[in-house]
Structure 1
């Protein structure tokens, strides 16, 4: 009797995410993934065309989770409060989701029509909608760039700042971008 295959795209993406978090981007290869799944490398090509598509799909699935969280948490907020909350949610997700933060810093490696880039565009469109409710516009590039840059700094300076200091410094920076020049506060949301 032959053994029934139970491999599907969701399992491939879940294992790739685990591999990415545990061993890093360089070790997340098709042969390593196949070994972790207990299949031959060729079996993976039934689900993805190549490593780039695999990584794009992994990141896109994580960005969808972020997008859903943004939608839930931004309901009823507008203006600067919504922009501040938007930045906080994105930062929190990137700090908690090692696979996503790793792949976000590799965005330039993905084509504009990749699944990842399409999902990131949805996040940016959501940020643009928040702008419509605000009486002052804040550059989406500045806001997203600041959040991504600060996530990088959070990881780089883990040993030099307490979590409380990092949080306060982050909020001060975001408040300068979205605030009205008012004094930054610990928990503006």
Structure 2
């Protein structure tokens, strides 16, 4: 009797995410993933072409969750309130989702047509649409890059600031990105 296949792409991505979070990106290899899933490495190639595609798909699945969260939380907001909410939601997701933040720091290793890059572009386009309804103009690249940098430093400096200080410093950084463009549009 043939054994019924219980593996699917969702299970592969979930286990890869778990490996990234528990063992790190360098340990998230096809052999280690196969071992964690209790299958042979060759079985994984039914679902992904290689490790790069696997990691891109993991990140893309995490970014889709971020995108859905952004859509829900931005409803009814405009102006600087919407920009701050956009930045806050991205920051909070990256703080919670270690796998996503690790993969985004390695984004330069993925091709422009990868699933990861395509999903990131949706986030940036959402930010661009958000700015159409406000007088504040800020480069989405600068905004998302600043949020990523802040999350990285926040992890390094954990417990060196109170949560209130960290929140205040974060919002000051976001405001400094926005304020120069707001001032230029008023001149």
In the other structure, the counterpart of 2:59 is 59
Long gaps (5+) in structure 1: 182-189
Q: Contact 1:20–1:27 at 8 Å: present in 2 too?
A: yes
Write the distance in 2 (CA, Å) between the matches of 1:139 and 1:41.
Answer: 42
Distance 2:45 2:149 in 1: 35
Per the normalisation by structure 1, the TM-score is 0.92
The answer as to whether partners of 1:84 and 1:178 remain within 8 angstroms in 2 is no
1:136: how far off?
A: 3.0
| CA RMSD, 1 decimal | 1.4
Please say if residues 20 and 99 of structure 1, whose CA atoms lie closer than 8 Å, have aligned partners that are also in contact. Answer: yes
After superposition, where does 1:1-189 map in structure 2 within 5 Å?
Answer: 1-179=1-179
Deviation at 1:54? 0.1
Report the Cα distance in structure 2 between the residues aligned to 1:136 and 1:61, rounded to whole angstroms: 30
- 8 Å Cα contact 1:21/1:99 also seen in 2: yes
The total of aligned residue pairs comes to: 181
Moved more, 132-141 or 111-120: 132-141
Preserved CA contact (<8 Å) 1:31 1:41: yes
Q: Runs (4+) of structure 1 moved beyond 2 Å? A: 159-165, 175-181
The CA distance in 1 between the partners of 2:138 and 2:179, in whole Å, is 10
CA contact (8 A) 1:34 1:44 kept: yes
Post-superposition shift, 1:102?
0.3
Q: Which moved more, 1:171-180 or 1:150-159?
A: 171-180
Per-residue Cα deviation, 1:39-74 (whole angstroms, up to 9, x for no partner): 000000000000000000000000000000000000
Secondary structure of 1:17's counterpart equals: helix
How many Å separate the matches in 2 of 1:21 and 1:92?
16
Aligned to 2:185: none
